[in-house]
Amino acid sequence: MSFPSVDEQLTVLRRGVEEIVPEEHLAEKLERSRERDTPLTVKLGCDPSRPDLHLGHTVVLRKLRQFQDLGHRAILIVGDFTGMIGDPSGRSKTRPTLTLEETRENGRTYYEQATKVLDPDKTEILYNSEWLDAMRFSDVIELSAHTTVAQMLEREDFKTRYNAGQPISIHEFLYPLAQSMDSVHIQSDVELGGTDQRFNLLLARELQKAHGQDAQVCMMLPLLEGTDGSRKMSKSLDNAIGITESPEDMYGKVMSIPDALIYRYAELVTDIPTADLPKVKQYAESNPRDAKAQLAHTIVSMYHGDEAAEAARQHFQQTVVRGGVPADMPEHRPDADPGEEVGLLNLMRNAGLTESNSQGRRMIKQGAVSIDGETVEDTGLYVDVSAEAPFVLRVGKRRFARIVWNGQS
Amino acid sequence: MSFPSVDEQLTVLRRGVEEIVPEEHLAEKLERSRERDTPLTVKLGCDPSRPDLHLGHTVVLRKLRQFQDLGHRAILIVGDFTGMIGDPSGRSKTRPTLTLEETRENGRTYYEQATKVLDPDKTEILYNSEWLDAMRFSDVIELSAHTTVAQMLEREDFKTRYNAGQPISIHEFLYPLAQSMDSVHIQSDVELGGTDQRFNLLLARELQKAHGQDAQVCMMLPLLEGTDGSRKMSKSLDNAIGITESPEDMYGKVMSIPDALIYRYAELVTDIPTADLPKVKQYAESNPRDAKAQLAHTIVSMYHGDEAAEAARQHFQQTVVRGGVPADMPEHRPDADPGEEVGLLNLMRNAGLTESNSQGRRMIKQGAVSIDGETVEDTGLYVDVSAEAPFVLRVGKRRFARIVWNGQS
């Protein structure tokens, strides 16, 4: 095996990265790897309690894939140990939250999904209960002797809780140490993680040194914002784009991100060549709507192929319009002949969007009614349904109906 | 077996105790013990790294003995687990500081000495490595989940160190939890300890409750001051009276404590009946010298018998005098006939206490010369050695000689 030059590798590996600690150590490790013709061991820890992967997860997975493509060794560590134990400080938690079988099953699901991004032939998967569960009390004391309380309380979330007088249970200090033990066990050269994992990743360096190992390089990747454009992508925040979602849903959700995120998504979750990113940036600024459509197409292609992406695009054009409307909404089929014009006030009422024509008139006057995103100003508007449908009729912020002509399927 | 009434027991058990938490719970436990005719299990943890017991240790040991005498069950727990591990945060401490054999050996020594106070037939000894060493990482997590970081940092020594920016290693948080686990293991009803153990003793209550047990009553005993009268008795502070010391040393050391401690020693480390303690107090105030001699006699008798105590008293009278003089000092035997009077200035010079007679004269004028504690005022004093010896001649603060007549052995 021969590795690309260190500079070539660094160019690939630095893309989109928030921080590398220590920066110079990565080059040294890559240099040594070339000299010895030995791949680096790159670690990524994964949480088996949430096996549904979304684009946010792919930021680190894609980085791991880049290491694989450069010839390095990827190890996914399923954190089943803590998953098995759960949080014993909870009330009725004398039993583990997850059984060994459940964590294994979740681990398999995680692996299946992760290998949509990773090269399955070059991916090892390990369960950390294998070594952590074998540790005894004296080993834990040895493990925890290398870290101080003050260091732990420097971790952002601990610091915040401690200063706010919220309880931090002692066992919570042991979890980061357990994760660090994983690095010692596999003797990782590099560990990947989100910026929120910075503390844990750096802690592992200390533990490796205490075990006489060459400490890992910590590579922190940004946390991808979700479709709301502000908060970290997360299933529980309902702003996530799952990588197993249907092409249509995926396409629609990418189309719903704010324009300001187009470039960030292109950089972090697509394989658009780094050299082409400046063009994407320009395009996103000059023509965000089409740039976003291109991004959506690219992302759907990555997970479902070109054909499905094209179909999703068409579906989106037909059914979803500008203005952040939901992908699924009630359909209303007015009883109208070809060429017949239907009064909008009646149409809204019949579609269940208003209670009465007077309410409809009021809404139009308030500028709260739109057709395919264009605000209606005329309270006496008539619509030729056979010609205009399908279209989305919107009243207020939350009421939508997709108007379909009976002659359409 | 039948137990004395709860009130009778409480009278004995409350003697000299600093704090009982919770106070009312002890009476309930004693009541239940009587009802069920079942002894209480009383725990005392001991540190196997320092097996030389002194009177300070006997304060809790004597309390444990009182429980035994009332019919309860005493368990000595040798903390060999932490002793075996030592402090892994130290530099060259990859190996345990003590081997299993060493901790066992120290445990045996501890037991041998402790049974000078305890009833050996009613004393069980357990080594906590038996259960702690079998605990696995998941057990430790479970164990540590019941305590918060803030609680730990309330412990006085941790708080002081944390606020002073001194490092506290995470494993130091695990040691108090390990000790608490001992209480869970033996299901102790009562735990005894010095006031400095308050935090650890109370922590065990929480852990027992979390394990569904009736929590132990914590009984805190005062820390006995050493012979210097101010600091806690401790071998390393050189103010300790060891219980295996010779009768003479023990007697001399008790005689060296400040008068203010006579009553405290009588209350905490002797078996003088509680009813007689007020008399001791009065005596200590009216005639501290004789009260202290009686205390010394009592204490030496407890460890060496009456005869040895009487011999120690005589030895003390012959060799040691008032005024805080050292027990061992150079002896000087002036060349004097029976009835011959020797000049004090010459005597001091010949005994090596002064360089010259003029220096001796100066010292007498400064009031810095004494015989058996009585300041000499006359620079022309002559002494009949055959009649006055043995006596202690003192010059300045630090120079002493024991003057013995040649005719004496």
The confidence band for B268, taking pLDDT boundaries of 50, 70 and 90, is: very high
For residues A380 and A395, is the Cβ–Cβ distance under 8 A?
Answer: no
Closest Cβ opposite residue A135 in set B136, B153, B173 = B136
Query: Rounded to 10 degrees, what is the CA torsion of B50, B54, B60, B66?
Result: 130
- Whether chain B has a CB inside 8 Å of the CB on A81: the answer is yes
Looking at residue A269, its pLDDT comes to 97
pLDDT digits (tens, 9 = 90+) for B387-396: 888 888 988 8
Closest Cβ opposite residue B168 in set A88, A149, A158 = A149
Looking at residue A327, its pLDDT comes to 61
Determine the 3-state secondary structure of A363 from DSSP: helix
For residues A226 and A24, is the Cβ–Cβ distance under 8 A?
Answer: no
- Whether chain A has a CB inside 8 Å of the CB on B302: the answer is no
The confidence band for A120, taking pLDDT boundaries of 50, 70 and 90, is: very high
What are the C-alpha distances in Å from B298 to residues B56, B78, B169, B307, B324? 16, 30, 45, 11, 21
Q: A207 to chain B: nearest residue by CA? A: B89
Q: A165 to chain B: nearest residue by CA? A: B150
Contact call for B140 and A140, based on CB within 8 A:
yes
Contact call for A173 and B169, based on CB within 8 A:
no
Determine what percent of chain A is predicted with pLDDT higher than 90. Answer: 62
Looking at residue B47, its pLDDT comes to 80
Mean pLDDT of B222-238: 90
Q: Measured between beta carbons, which residues in chain A are less than 8 angstroms from residue B89?
A: 145-146
Over 80: is that where the pLDDT of A96 sits?
A: no
- Whether chain B has a CB inside 8 Å of the CB on A1: the answer is no
Q: How far apart are CA B26 and CA B11, in angstroms?
A: 12
Contact call for A144 and B177, based on CB within 8 A:
no
Q: What is the distance in angstroms between the Cα of B202 and the nearest Cα belonging to chain A?
A: 17
Q: A87 to chain B: nearest residue by CA? A: B145
What are the C-alpha distances in Å from A198 to residues A54, A104, A237, A248? 21, 26, 23, 35
Over 50: is that where the pLDDT of A139 sits?
A: yes
- Whether chain A has a CB inside 8 Å of the CB on B95: the answer is no
Over 90: is that where the pLDDT of B226 sits?
A: yes
Contact call for A136 and B141, based on CB within 8 A:
no
Mean pLDDT of A382-400: 85
- Whether chain B has a CB inside 8 Å of the CB on A366: the answer is no
What are the C-alpha distances in Å from A226 to residues A25, A52, A156, A238, B355? 32, 15, 22, 8, 93
Whole-structure pTM value: 0.72
Q: With b meaning 16 or more CB within 10 Å and e meaning fewer, what string describes A122-153?
A: bbebbbbbebbbebbbbbbbbbbbbbbbebbb
Q: Please, which residues 237-266 of chain B have a Cβ atom closer than 8 Å to chain A?
A: none
The per-residue pLDDT of chain A, averaged, comes to 89
Contact call for A133 and B133, based on CB within 8 A:
no
**Letter for the amino acid at A368?**
A
Tokens, residue A364: 């139009």
Handedness of CA B135, B137, B138, B142 (dihedral sign): positive
Helix axes B170-186, B137-144, angle to 10 degrees: 90
Contact call for B162 and A150, based on CB within 8 A:
yes
For residues A128 and A100, is the Cβ–Cβ distance under 8 A?
Answer: no
- Whether chain A has a CB inside 8 Å of the CB on B376: the answer is no
The confidence band for A95, taking pLDDT boundaries of 50, 70 and 90, is: very low
Mean pLDDT of B375-394: 89
The confidence band for B209, taking pLDDT boundaries of 50, 70 and 90, is: very high
Rg (CA), chain B: 27
Q: Is B290 exposed, middle or buried (0-12, 13-18, 19+ CB in 10 A)?
A: exposed
Most confident of A170-179, A252-261, B31-40, B332-341: B31-40
Over 80: is that where the pLDDT of A68 sits?
A: yes
pLDDT digits (tens, 9 = 90+) for B70-92: 999 999 998 888 777 665 554 33
- Whether chain B has a CB inside 8 Å of the CB on A275: the answer is no
The per-residue pLDDT of chain B, averaged, comes to 89
Tokens, residue A170: 């002692």
Tokens, residue B273: 């009946």
For residues A142 and B89, is the Cβ–Cβ distance under 8 A?
Answer: no
Q: Measured between beta carbons, which residues in chain A are less than 8 angstroms from residue B97?
A: none
Q: What is the distance in angstroms between the Cα of A184 and the nearest Cα belonging to chain B?
A: 16
Contact call for B84 and A138, based on CB within 8 A:
yes
Give residues with Cβ within 8 angstroms of B127, minimum separation 6: B77, B78, B80, B81, B103, B104, B107
Tokens, residue A87: 């949080």
- Whether chain B has a CB inside 8 Å of the CB on A164: the answer is no
Over 70: is that where the pLDDT of A86 sits?
A: no
CB atoms closer than 10 angstroms to residue A337? 11
> Which residue in B98, B140, B159 has the most chain A C-beta atoms within 10 A of its own C-beta, making it the best mutation to test that interface?
B140
Contact call for A174 and B134, based on CB within 8 A:
no
The confidence band for B63, taking pLDDT boundaries of 50, 70 and 90, is: very high
Closest CA to B402 of B364, B380, B371, B368: B371
Top pLDDT among B97 and B44 is at B44
pLDDT digits (tens, 9 = 90+) for A319-333: 665 455 666 678 888
Top pLDDT among A172 and A329 is at A172
Instruction: Name the helix (H) or strand (E) containing A59.
Output: helix A55-69
Contact call for B140 and A174, based on CB within 8 A:
yes
For residues B213 and B233, is the Cβ–Cβ distance under 8 A?
Answer: no
A-to-B residue pairs, Cβ atoms closer than 8 angstroms: 132
**DSSP letter for each residue of B181-221:** HHHHHHT-SEEEEEGGGHHHHHHHHHHHHHTTPPPPEEEEE
Mean pLDDT of B154-169: 89
Looking at residue A227, its pLDDT comes to 92
Looking at residue A386, its pLDDT comes to 87
CA A105 distance to own-chain centroid:
21
Closest Cβ opposite residue B142 in set A81, A88, A134 = A88
For residues B78 and B125, is the Cβ–Cβ distance under 8 A?
Answer: yes
Q: How far apart are CA B181 and CA B175, in angstroms?
A: 10
CA A396 distance to own-chain centroid:
31
Q: Is B27 exposed, middle or buried (0-12, 13-18, 19+ CB in 10 A)?
A: middle
Q: How many residues does chain A have?
A: 409
Mean pLDDT of A291-316: 94
The confidence band for A93, taking pLDDT boundaries of 50, 70 and 90, is: very low
The ipTM assigned to this model is 0.71
Side-chain half-sphere exposure of B278, counting CA atoms within 13 A: 1
Closest CA to A98 of A79, A118, A75, A112: A79
Tokens, residue B303: 């460890």
pLDDT digits (tens, 9 = 90+) for A187-214: 999 999 999 999 999 999 999 999 999 9
Q: How far apart are CA A28 and CA B333, in angstroms?
A: 81
Which of B60-74, B99-113, B115-129 has the weakest average pLDDT? B99-113
Looking at residue A321, its pLDDT comes to 52
The confidence band for B235, taking pLDDT boundaries of 50, 70 and 90, is: confident
Q: A174 to chain B: nearest residue by CA? A: B141
Which of A227-236, B324-333, B363-372, B396-405 has the weakest average pLDDT? B324-333
Q: How far apart are CA B405 and CA B390, in angstroms?
A: 7
Q: Measured between beta carbons, which residues in chain A are less than 8 angstroms from residue B138?
A: 81, 84-85, 133
- Whether chain B has a CB inside 8 Å of the CB on A382: the answer is no
Q: How far apart are CA B295 and CA B269, in angstroms?
A: 10
> Which residue in B103, B141, B174, B180 has the most chain A C-beta atoms within 10 A of its own C-beta, making it the best mutation to test that interface?
B141
The confidence band for A406, taking pLDDT boundaries of 50, 70 and 90, is: confident
Q: How far apart are CA B269 and CA B300, in angstroms?
A: 11
Over 80: is that where the pLDDT of A99 sits?
A: no
